[in-house]
A and B are shown apart, each in its own frame.
Chain A
Amino acid sequence: MELTGAQILLECLKKEGVDVVFGFPGGAVLDIYHELPNFPFKHVLARHEQGAIHAADGYARATGDVGVCLVTSGPGATNTVTGIATAYMDSIPVVILTGQVPTALIGNDAFQEVDIVGITRPCTKHNYLVKDINNLAYTIRQAFYLARSGRPGPVLVDLPKDIMQQITEFKWPEDVSLRSYNPNLNPHYGQIKKVSKLIRKAERPLIYAGGGVISSGAQEDLIWLAKNLDIPVTATLMGLGGFPGDDPLWLGMLGMHGTYAANMAVNTADLVLAIGARFDDRVTGKVSEFAPNATFVHVDVDPTSIQKNVHVHVPIVADCKSFLMALRESLEPVIGATDFEVAHAGWVKQVQDWSTAHPLHYNKGGEYIKPQHVVEKIYEISKGEAIIATEVGQNQMWAAQFYKFKKPKSFLSSGGLGTMGYGFPAAIGAQIAYPDRLVVNIAGDGSIQMNIQEMMTAVANNLPVKIVILNNRYLGMVRQWQELFYDRNYSETCMDAQPDFVKLAEAYGAAGFRITEEKDLESTLKEAFATPKPAIIDVIVDPEENVYPMVPAGCSLTEMLLV
């Protein structure tokens, strides 16, 4: 079959099982857009390319499938860079298709030319410039394969306009193999035996789960391990939902804004099982004092994550699910023989006592609505079943602390890069995937203004995404740091000048609500959530509320500031 480059590209997407493409057209991708109506997938027209890439990323996080983003050359391509870096830092499978000027003009500073392959080299898992139409199909095949296998990540394919116009025979490459790329998924048997022995010997074991548990689909296996061996579980921001947030063994998140119990448990544990987590500095605090009493087992599909930040005693390069399954097989025979419930009873009681003594907490009362209370209400009303996307800042931390995530893929947040403006487009991506679920973007008044233009995308596509703005009229998280560490010098963090968010929503054709009094909180949230339209719920909250506990940067996890 003779096809044009554009047709081949779209045939490839079809073969890869793509349902949705998030994009924004332009001259360099006109040939692709020309063919698009002839293909069975949906195109979601964003209002800014950053919106398109975050939406593709949100779609990927919510579904576990590859998200696809299609943009034009030059400014279209560069507008995706923040989104690409966001996906890269959090290991999210996204394929970015960028238009490029015709091959004859590459390198000539042609109109809308940019070396996007050069620009994105440090923030993609891999990237390609297609220079020969005969390589097109195989390149797209490789791009999807790389994006979704091993440690997932964004892969960019730059597509010159003339290649999209040329014609060649379309052959779908059934197999893909790259001699230099063979991710190791299965754990070494000897290492599993070692871990199993360490677990049986440990008196104060702790599981520290990260995003790898979610991307490998290992929640069930993690639950099995924790429950059968009575091991308390904590997680990183990216690991939320990897273990049910309402389970008695759940300690909450650890790290800078982690719970007292989780941070104390890490400090006291004699064995830390780090599964798909990478010892980020927001988690470890002062590295040299992180889990000082523990033997570390570290499982990660990416060998570079192991021994990067801490010295690990038992390194295991493997997919988290494969690891947990293998561990289960080796432990199953001993479950009956050892009574772990008894063996760990003292330890479990200890961590639960910490939880009771210092639960996540905020001071109620006062004239203002407390932002934490808003998150609690969202949890209550949604029965913990919503997909929650967040922006970055205090809103993100309160969402992480006060919404109890029961299931994986229900918390979408920019962890590694901390990208303000991520949450709303990501929520749009998730709502595209799950039109019938409640998708809530918990936002700050600062962050939401970074990609508010995507409201038009939500309205145009009938996506009933809800944005709850925890409106403190500050760049709250930065103000918090200024309060605590910079003598209350609130330099440029007061965001008093802001639009009327209710009118703004209405201007876009969405619904707008404002809550200023606590007595209206529940009823208005309920009403807004029941509205079959996108909606902004502008909640005026305590302007000077802080996120606690807080471990000041560079301190040890036990040096928590409590409320």
Chain B
Amino acid sequence: MRHILSVIVENEPGVLSRVAGLFSGRGFNIESLNVAPTLEDGVSLMTIATVGDEQIIEQIVKQLRKLITVIKVVDLTEHKAVDREMVLIKVNAEDTKRAEILRIVDIFRCKVVDVSVDELTIEVTGDRGKIEALINLLVRFGIKETARTGSVAMKRAMQG
């Protein structure tokens, strides 16, 4: 099963390699890994999407906690979480197709961020379902390139 881990780390050199090395060294799988500073000085947030059975996920969480530079690990899968990803999609868009693509962009509430004679670059943000749906719709026009951020996620404020 896919799990999203929110990992708070000391923002110091080598921390990314400690985390990534832990995954590769122990044969765990990283689906995506996202890291950026938080508002707190010297602290970064990593969002790691990974896949494994319960025992593997338990090991991943424990092994991450064991790293001295890791301050906190939360498995967001256990909580209601907001899970978003941003993707840039460059798609073929000759004149005859352009209107239809723009209609899809509209329906999905995404943005066109770059245009040329025969291409459009679309920026989409959303959960996996939305992104996959969009990609499925655009495939038939010919997707030339995608760039994905991987998940960024956060626990929801209200938990029922």
Contacts and interface: CB of A to CB of B under 8 A. Distances in A.
B25 A303 contact: no
A180 interface: yes
B18 A181 contact: no
Interface in A278-317: 302-304, 307-308
B14 A121 contact: yes
Given A303-B62, A304-B62, A304-B63, A178 B68 contact: yes
B66 interface: yes
B17 A121 contact: yes
A524 B71 CA distance: 59
A125 B66 CA distance: 9
Given A121-B14, A307-B55, A181 B21 contact: no
Contacts of A117: 14
Interface in A477-530: none
Nearest to B24: A122
Contacts of A308: 59
B11 interface: no
B91 interface: no
Interface string A111-133: 00000011001100110010000
Contacts of B67: 180
User: Which among B10, B14, B18, B71 has the greatest number of chain A C-beta atoms within 10 A?
Assistant: B14
Interface residues of A, number: 17
A432 B10 CA distance: 39
B25 to A, nearest CB: 5
A180 B69 contact: yes
Contact of B65 (A178, A303, A307): A303
B58 interface: yes
A141 to B, nearest CB: 14
B71 A180 contact: yes
A180 B63 contact: no
Q: Interface majority SS on B: helix, strand, loop or mixed?
A: helix
Interface string A173-187: 000001111000000
B152 interface: no
B70 interface: yes
Contact of B25 (A122, A129, A181, A302): A122
Contacts of A179: 71
Size category, B interface? 20 to 34
Contacts of A146: 68
Contacts, number: 36
Given A122-B25, A304-B63, A307-B55, A181 B68 contact: yes
B62 A180 contact: no
A121 B70 CA distance: 14
A303 B13 CA distance: 26
B68 A126 contact: yes
Interface string B121-134: 00000000000000
A100 to B, nearest CB: 14
Contacts of B25: 122
User: Which among A125, A304, A308 has the greatest number of chain B C-beta atoms within 10 A?
Assistant: A304
A507 to B, nearest CB: 43
Contacts of A122: 21, 25
Contact of B21 (A121, A302, A307): A121
A180 B18 contact: no
B66 A118 contact: no
A178 B10 CA distance: 11
Nearest to A146: B68
Contacts of B59: 304, 307-308
Nearest to A151: B66
Interface in B16-61: 17-18, 21, 25, 55, 58-59
A18 to B, nearest CB: 22
A181 B10 CA distance: 12
User: Which among B17, B25, B55, B68 has the greatest number of chain A C-beta atoms within 10 A?
Assistant: B68
A70 B48 CA distance: 37
Given A302-B66, A303-B66, A118 B71 contact: no
Contact of A307 (B13, B18, B58): B58
A494 to B, nearest CB: 36
Contact of A304 (B66, B70, B72): B66
Nearest to A302: B66
Nearest to A306: B62
Interface string B57-89: 011001101111111100000000000000000
A117 B13 CA distance: 11
B55 A121 contact: no
Contacts of A303: 62, 65-66
A539 B55 CA distance: 49
A129 B17 CA distance: 14
A180 B14 contact: no
A125 B63 CA distance: 12
Contacts of B58: 307
Interface string A367-388: 0000000000000000000000
B83 to A, nearest CB: 25
A129 B13 CA distance: 10
Contacts of A125: 68
Interface string A138-155: 000000001000000000
B91 to A, nearest CB: 40
Nearest to A304: B62
Question: Sorted from nearest, which 10 A-B pairs have the closest CB atoms?
Answer: A126-B68, A304-B62, A180-B71, A122-B25, A303-B62, A304-B63, A181-B68, A304-B66, A121-B21, A180-B70
Given A121-B17, A180-B10, A180-B70, 7 more contacts: A121-B14, A121-B21, A129-B13, A129-B14, A180-B67, A302-B66, A304-B59
Interface of B: 10, 13-14, 17-18, 21, 25, 55, 58-59, 62-63, 65-72
5 contacts: A117-B14, A121-B17, A181-B68, A303-B65, A308-B59
